[in-house]
A and B are shown apart, each in its own frame.
Chain A
Amino acid sequence: MAFPIVHGSGDFAWEIRRAMMQYDFDCVAVPLPDSFREGVEDGILKLPVPSVVVQKSAAVADYAPEAKDDDEDLVTSYVPVDPCQGVIAALRFAMEERLPRRFIDLETDRYEPHTATLPDPYALKQLSVEKFSAAVAPFLQPGNTEQWRARIDHMAWQLRQLSVDYKRILFVTNIVDWPWIREAFNDRELQQPMDESTLDPERFGVEPDTLYFLMREIPFIANLYENARRELDDDEHLSIDGVKELLITARDIYFDEYKNRARKITPSLMSRMLKYIRNLTLIGHRLSPQLSDIVVAAKQVAGDGYARVVLETAKYYEFEDHELLSECRMGIDRIALPDGDVATAVNRLPGPPMHWTTIEIQPKPDEQVRKDWKQRWNPFSQCSWPPEDDLIENFRRTVFDRASEVLGADMAKTEKFTTSVKDGIDIRDTVRNWHTNDIYVKVLPPNKGKLDVAIMLFDSPADPREYPWRTTWFAEHKDESTLAFYATDFQAQPVGPGICLAHYGGAMFVYPPVMIPDIWQDPRLDFASTLEERLIAAGCLYSTCRHVALLSPAPPGQAWKKIAKHYKKTLVHLPLSKFGDSTVQQLRMVHVLNGKDVRSYASNFIRRV
């Protein structure tokens, strides 16, 4: 029985396992050369830990590196021992069942892959393998190299030999080769091509960060397949359900990491994200999403922070190498071997061509890099990042405007015309009430007061241990406010060389700016028992107006009102929920730069939420 598959597809691996459980076979043949047998079977015994069996090309293996042309490159071919590969799944099952296994491909020194763009294997959930193959067959093109022809003939010839000894052979083959293998198998004139001489392949581990380039499934989803296999759970739809699992797991990690700074990722937002992922997948002519689609959707729906966590979660594969094999790093069509050589790498189980896309998203710097940045920090040279200053000052203006509205300024009213047209006829309301024959006029009440202090409490009640950085900054120019705030420790979160990130817990703005003593050291404010109270007290102390704008999640309680009353002030409350969650999260970010020269390149490292 021939089983044409698309390499690197968990769905085909699942179908093969099902077929092998359903039918009896007495031999399994796979499209790999016999030289790979030992390495691949050793790797399969170590599954679910993935590994890679690499064969260097003899043509350049003995080449003296110093004599290399620029064009000459170390060439390798490899077999990924990945549980989601159909061929590996078939061999794994055969080894468990003690079935004979045959590696029937031609030995080739420089393997030339033959691939094609194929339909998404997820179609197997609605179609049988036979229908899938029949639908694909008319669009397949034969290879155009001598090596490909020889490989086809060799595999057909080997199958003929096997059919003498075995009755029920399962031949797992690449779907793009199958029609021609079948043709050659039925050709009476078939000759056996000669094997080329090759070097012995070696098996290596794979650096966990680069597993994605070995496995054609997302490592997190491959991990789910392995867990389902271990727990005997249903894994039929994991290629899609795994995406949902990935997003939900990432959301939990994201909430855990960002805590009260996390965006609200509600079920409704999740459903929009999934719908968008589905649409991106369909518009890319696929049925199951690629990692890039998932990350793009996460970024565009829930922000950079969540997208970063999704990507880091997608790389997660829990099964580690206990053999302590030398590790190589996999790339796109390239491999970095443990000896330091970087080689061109050709996959002998090639799936559809891989497309690389670039997404603007930044990983968390690793611990060593962060340590390095921290060490280089000069505590005597610190400044803010101007775009953030502008943003928060603009927001302060908005808070003043809205608080003024609450006070009654700019609150135009409309009333029926009686004796005066007041501030003009309101045409809109006059027309709206046309049927009553009444004329309506505008009334603009006089401004009830000015504002010069705004207090913003983003996190209240605030845990003082979370906000150790408390300071008062003076304006750099006339358009800036005097600013006093409590925030997280910026040195705990370096994001670039000479760039650290903190988050405001609360801030007080005095505009126009005035010189004031540091409110956190001012003994006149020591009666305040919480961070918020100290900010409110300072705001009321330095305000020259009757009203002080207060932006906070909840309305001010008695204690805060009492403080305001003490200074003969009134708090004008604005609910924080009036402003968008993502807006507030952006406003809370404050980057500290190690000197003004850092401003010139800071934007390359600073990503808004």
Chain B
Amino acid sequence: MADTVKIQNINLHLSQPHNLKNEWIGQTEILTQLMACWLVVNDQDLPLSPRIVGPPGIGKTAMAMAAADLREQELYIYQCTADTRPEDLLITPVLAENGKIAYHASPLVSAMIKGGVCILDEGNRMNEKSWASLAPLLDHRRYVESIVAGISIEAHPDFRCAVTMNQDESTFEIPDYILSRLQPTLALKFPSREDEKAILKYHLPFVEDDMLSMTVEFLQQAHELKLDFSTRDGINLLRYAMKRIQQSGDHPIARDKAWAEALEKCLGEEALDLQELARRKTQTLGGQTLPMGFGDFFFDPNDPLHPDMDEGEDGDDGGEPF
């Protein structure tokens, strides 16, 4: 039975929170940054509403879900699309069984009322008009106005919001006045080898270790080549491969053959050419030193004092941060 709440004489039917549990593996730093965005120090302080960006299938939504879980708050997810209209985001009138109009609050408004966490998933797909309806919610005013129901709704002090965005052509049209409210931008990267293996193991505990290793090896190589094959692709690939192996009990398919077939069917032919891409890259890179980041501001890339320098076999601690 859906919850209802009465606001300014209007009965609102609230959406149900998600009860998905999601463990976050690796990249703790960015999770900490998201938690920092949602931190408030007193009653007058306001939380930030960050953008979580990165390629598809990398775990943007999963991370926001894990953050909601850490905060022990109810989680609501709103899937944004190109034709999302302001009233879809806020309150939708529907025809009830008794022939009267009932007002249904979106997951976003439900989170606002109940003090939950709302993830606006793939927010980049929404048009400016829809974003404009959220402008007062995302600044110090913290309320929304529903034209359809003729009411304004204030956000609960515990309400938190994050927007996930893919960096593709659909991000062009979010205007500055909205982007300035969606700060900071947390960029999620591809996971490290160990983390990626742990993620695959978490989602597919029944898959043998050699299949996992093959997939992780492939994904890591793809990440290195800056190709957009994600952990989600790896999960789908393994699922398909396992199904193919299970499919014919009397004529079992060799694992590597099933894996290669899954690779082609799930990720396309270009995925088969990774080896060649990797070989070409090592040839052309020659003796170039690649940028290492923060440490380059203090040290020459070849300086033995460079903290990000790979110590190699003689390294003292395998590159652990100090």
Q: Which of B29, B180, B288 contacts A497 (CB 8 A)?
A: B288
Inter-subunit contact A282/B305 (CB<8 Å): no
Inter-subunit contact B299/A209 (CB<8 Å): yes
Residues in A381-430 with C-beta less than 8 Å from chain B? 391, 394-395, 397-398, 402, 428
Distance to closest chain B CB from A13 (angstroms): 23
Inter-subunit contact B37/A276 (CB<8 Å): yes
The reply on A212 being an interface residue by CB < 8 A is yes
Inter-subunit contact A283/B39 (CB<8 Å): yes
The reply on A431 being an interface residue by CB < 8 A is yes
Inter-subunit contact A580/B39 (CB<8 Å): no
Residues in B250-280 with C-beta less than 8 Å from chain A? 277, 280
Inter-subunit contact A359/B172 (CB<8 Å): no
Chain B contacts for A578, CB-based, 8 A:
128, 173, 175
Chain B contacts for A497, CB-based, 8 A:
288
Stretch at the interface among B11-19, B73-81, B151-159, B290-298: B290-298
| Given A280-B36, A331-B305, A398-B173, A361:B293 Cβ within 8 A | yes
Chain A contacts for B173, CB-based, 8 A:
398, 402, 578-580
The reply on A476 being an interface residue by CB < 8 A is no
Stretch at the interface among A4-12, A167-175, A350-358, A443-451: A350-358
Q: Which of A284, A292, A315, A432 contacts B148 (CB 8 A)?
A: A432
In the complex, A295→B174 CA distance in Å? Answer: 25
In the complex, A334→B183 CA distance in Å? Answer: 38
Residue of A nearest to B306 (CB): A331
Number of interface residues of B (CB under 8 A): 62
In the complex, A272→B48 CA distance in Å? Answer: 8
| Given A70-B314, A210-B299, A329-B303, A580:B176 Cβ within 8 A | yes
Distance to closest chain A CB from B63 (angstroms): 15
Distance to closest chain B CB from A115 (angstroms): 13
The reply on A62 being an interface residue by CB < 8 A is no
Inter-subunit contact A358/B183 (CB<8 Å): no
The reply on B221 being an interface residue by CB < 8 A is no
In the complex, A359→B294 CA distance in Å? Answer: 5
Distance to closest chain A CB from B315 (angstroms): 11
Inter-subunit contact B304/A336 (CB<8 Å): yes
Q: Convert A255-296 into 0s and 1s, putting 1 for each residue whose CB lies closer than 8 angstroms to a CB of B.
A: 000000000101011001101101110111000000010011
Q: Convert B155-181 into 0s and 1s, putting 1 for each residue whose CB lies closer than 8 angstroms to a CB of A.
A: 000000000000011011111101110
The reply on B308 being an interface residue by CB < 8 A is yes
Distance to closest chain B CB from A168 (angstroms): 40
Residue of B281, B293, B297 contacting most chain A CB atoms (<10 Å): B297
In the complex, A315→B95 CA distance in Å? Answer: 64
Residues in B96-146 with C-beta less than 8 Å from chain A? 101, 128
In the complex, A600→B225 CA distance in Å? Answer: 8
Distance to closest chain B CB from A496 (angstroms): 8
Inter-subunit contact B171/A583 (CB<8 Å): yes
| Given A282-B39, A334-B305, A391-B169, A431:B93 Cβ within 8 A | yes
The reply on B206 being an interface residue by CB < 8 A is no
A-side interface mostly = helix
Q: Which of A213, A297, A342 contacts B304 (CB 8 A)?
A: A342
The reply on A300 being an interface residue by CB < 8 A is yes
Residues in A28-82 with C-beta less than 8 Å from chain B? 70
Distance to closest chain A CB from B238 (angstroms): 27
| Given A210-B299, A280-B33, A283-B35, A295:B294 Cβ within 8 A | yes
Distance to closest chain A CB from B212 (angstroms): 27
| Given A279-B39, A300-B184, A358-B295, A342:B33 Cβ within 8 A | no
In the complex, A468→B205 CA distance in Å? Answer: 59
| Given A331-B305, A434-B101, A264:B176 Cβ within 8 A | yes
Chain A contacts for B281, CB-based, 8 A:
600-601
Chain A contacts for B87, CB-based, 8 A:
428
Inter-subunit contact B290/A604 (CB<8 Å): yes
In the complex, A39→B289 CA distance in Å? Answer: 39
Distance to closest chain B CB from A243 (angstroms): 16
* Interface, chain A (partner B; CB < 8 A): 70, 209-210, 212-213, 264, 266, 268-269, 272-273, 275-276, 278-280, 282-284, 292, 295-297, 300-301, 311-312, 315, 329-336, 342, 353-363, 391, 394-395, 397-398, 402, 428, 431-432, 434, 497, 577-583, 597-598, 600-601, 603-605
Can you list 25 pairs linking A and B with CB atoms under 8 Å apart? Answer: A212-B298, A273-B183, A273-B184, A278-B41, A279-B39, A283-B36, A330-B305, A331-B306, A336-B303, A342-B305, A355-B321, A357-B29, A357-B321, A358-B293, A359-B294, A394-B172, A395-B169, A398-B172, A402-B173, A432-B93, A578-B175, A580-B172, A580-B174, A601-B288, A601-B290
Starting from the known contacts A275-B45, A300-B187, 4 additional A-B residue pairs (CB-CB under 8 Å) come to A272-B180, A497-B288, A600-B280, A605-B290
